[in-house]
Amino acid sequence: MARIKILLADPHAMVREAIRTQLEVERDFVVIGEAANTSKTTDLIKKLSPDIIILDLELQGFFSFDFFPQLSRYFPATRVVILSALCTKSHVIAALQNRASGYVFKSSSYETLAEAIRTVAAGGIYVPVSLSKSDLRTCIKRKNRAALDQSRNLTLRQQEVLDLAAEGFTNSEIASRLYISRRTVEAHRARLMHKLALNDRAALIRYAYKMRGIQLGGYNQVSSTAKSNTQ
């Protein structure tokens, strides 16, 4: 089973060490890097292509809400879980609307953080119980709209290649289905990765899964914490 690759971005070394120690007990997690500021975080995302960033809103460099547009533009396949001492509903909503797929309070248990990571890695969103049903619906609608706006920058052929890649087809199989050459498929993949700022084929597949989930009408999974507010 492929492990979930996690990048820790928190200004406090002791916090990062404690989180790493707890997460590495989990067999399906691997912590691949740590950063104390936005510059280092950006460098590590480029080099390591994490699946999940655990991000403190008060990361050194500038307030992390200002960092989100950069994440969304250049690293669309990497998903964000906020781990913060800021526990107000307004911070949770702002984080989800700006880029995050999960929000965990620092007062929560490690089990809660692990649940949030798995939920987000599976394509879902994770929110605290304090978020109401209407708040959650608003956040999802705005996140869907932003992601679809990004997908509209793709040509029809690029979208077809992306969809077939998400279904697991090889370059040769995609070429056969679309009646184009394998070299043309490879060129489309290269342009897709450049346009979406993705580093490798795995990142492209993760992005494709994410977009398919949104086009089907929302996130594939919402954590049990969120479900109690949506039923």
> Which amino acid belongs to residue 58?
E
Closest CA to 52 of 25, 26, 85, 75: 75
The model's pTM: 0.60
Query: Which pLDDT value is given to residue 168?
Result: 76
Domain 4-131+221-230 fold is: Rossmann fold (3.40.50)
Give residues with Cβ within 8 angstroms of 101, minimum separation 6: 79, 80, 81, 120, 124, 125, 126, 143, 219
- Alpha-carbon gap, residue 160 to 223, rounded angstroms: 31
Reply yes or no on domain 147-215 having CATH 2.40.10.10. no
Full pLDDT tens readout for the chain, 231 residues: 689 999 999 999 999 999 999 999 999 999 999 999 988 998 999 899 999 999 998 876 555 666 776 776 678 788 999 998 887 777 887 787 777 888 999 888 999 999 999 999 988 888 876 555 555 555 555 555 455 445 556 777 887 888 788 777 888 999 998 889 999 999 988 888 877 767 777 777 777 766 654 433 333 334 444 444 444
Question: Taking the chain, what is the end-to-end CA distance rounded to the nearest angstrom?
Answer: 32
Q: Where are the domains of the chain?
A: 4-131+221-230, 147-215
> Which amino acid belongs to residue 89?
K
Question: Is there a contact between 77 and 206 (Cβ–Cβ < 8 Å)?
Answer: yes
- Alpha-carbon gap, residue 120 to 101, rounded angstroms: 6
Q: Quote the tokens at residue 228.
A: 């109690």
Nearest 5°: CA angle at 16, between 12 and 19?
140
Burial class from Cβ neighbours inside 10 Å (0-12, 13-18, 19+) for residue 1 reads: exposed
- Alpha-carbon gap, residue 224 to 26, rounded angstroms: 20
